[in-house]
Amino acid sequence: MSLRSLNLLVMILVTLLSSGAGKPSGEQPLSRIEIHKTTLALHDSAYVEASPRVLGLQGQNSDWVTLQYSYPSPSNDDWIGVFSPASFSSSICLPENPKESPPLLCTAPIKYQYANYTTSDYRNTGKGSLKLQLINQREDFSFALFSGGLSNPKLVAVSKKVTFANPKAPVYPRLAQGKLWNEMSVTWTSGYGINEAEPFVEWGARGDSQVRSPAGTLTFSRNSMCGAPARTVGWRDPGFIHTSFLKDLWPNKMYTYKLGHKLINDSYVWSRSYSFKASPYPGQDSLQQVVIFGDMGKAEADGSNEYNNFQPGSLNTTYQLIKDLRILT
């Protein structure tokens, strides 16, 4: 490389660093909401309507909600917050410090979007609509319309509650290699504590009889957090985390499994069926394929939480991972 080319490269790098290129594009969106400053400004003519009211009727763990809303004094700073649990007033939480009163809203929204996101004339008409994707998070949901922007939120309207058909359902299994080559651990989340139901995995080689393996149950509480805001407006109940170990797997064999909970009334709650391929025997001549990617960040598929296009590239990475994994399997 010539000295001239080297100098040019150095100049380009200095320019990029000084301009902020390569840095995260903005703050984490939810961190910009000053939820503890919220004031109550409910308006008789303002409303938020959500439909459908019951999600996941076909057993889905995610579903879409359509919002229709109106406010007679609209501005481009108005926004919609998604809250879960649906009740988010100070009446349901205790102050972190006994000498202080809790804020008007004692929980932050799990996601948000500006009211004019898909309705360009919202500022003129005061009416808008949004489609938001929700995942089953063990609690119901409500949608609130705020004026005053993110730094000075004023609550003007709240929707009725929306819930999944079974909010406690076992969801989101995660597989990991066990301590031995012929073991697989399965971890999932549900709303069922150990005093409500017995968790297990029903599994077996594809086409063969199925067996059941018990699962352990763990969780953590608000008091496990070090302090505010994790114990106050940032707290959300994590539900219960279950882990089961599937042992004595045959090498290279396909297995099917589903998550189960036996309730105290002897009825059962099931997840849908999943599958995996067991590891080859150690030292076996086999093709190993690995998917490698960096810290891909987080973004919402419905466009919410998008302050300054926070990390939209993470969606592209996720979609490509799904595509590659389908090809591999």
Domain that holds residue 100: 29-164
Using only C-alpha atoms, what is the Rg of the chain? 24
Q: N- to C-terminal Cα distance for the chain?
A: 45
Angle at 126 between CA 124 and CA 129, to 5 degrees: 115
Q: How far is Cα 278 from Cα 254, in angstroms, rounded to an integer?
A: 6
pTM recorded for the entire structure: 0.79
Give the per-residue pLDDT at 102: 54
Residue 303 resides in a domain? no
- On whether both 136 and 175 belong to a single domain, the answer is no
Beta carbons within 10 angstroms of residue 226's beta carbon: 6
Q: Which tens digit of pLDDT belongs to each residue from 310-328?
A: 567 788 888 888 888 787 7
- On whether both 44 and 127 belong to a single domain, the answer is yes
CATH of residue 270: 2.60.40.380
Give the per-residue pLDDT at 325: 79
Residue 323 resides in a domain? no
Beta carbons within 10 angstroms of residue 215's beta carbon: 24
* Residue whose entry in the numeric block shows the structure tokens 């609550």: 155
Residue after which a domain boundary falls, among 164, 183, 210: 164
Residue 329 resides in a domain? no
Per the structure, the count of domains in the chain is: 2
Residue 12 resides in a domain? no
Residue after which a domain boundary falls, among 143, 164, 185: 164
Give the per-residue pLDDT at 76: 93
Give the per-residue pLDDT at 270: 95
Give the per-residue pLDDT at 310: 57
Residue numbers of the chain with a pLDDT score lower than 50: 3, 5-6, 8-25
Confirm if 123 and 66 have CB atoms less than 8 A apart: no
Residue 111 resides in a domain? yes
Give the per-residue pLDDT at 177: 92
Pairing of strands 240-246, 184-190: antiparallel
Q: Where are the alpha helices (DSSP H) in the chain?
A: 3-19, 122-125, 313-328
- On whether both 101 and 79 belong to a single domain, the answer is yes
CATH of residue 134: 2.60.40.10
Q: Which tens digit of pLDDT belongs to each residue from 49-100?
A: 999 999 999 889 999 999 999 999 999 999 999 999 888 765 555 565 666 5
Give the per-residue pLDDT at 288: 80
Residue after which a domain boundary falls, among 104, 137, 164: 164
Residue 234 resides in a domain? yes
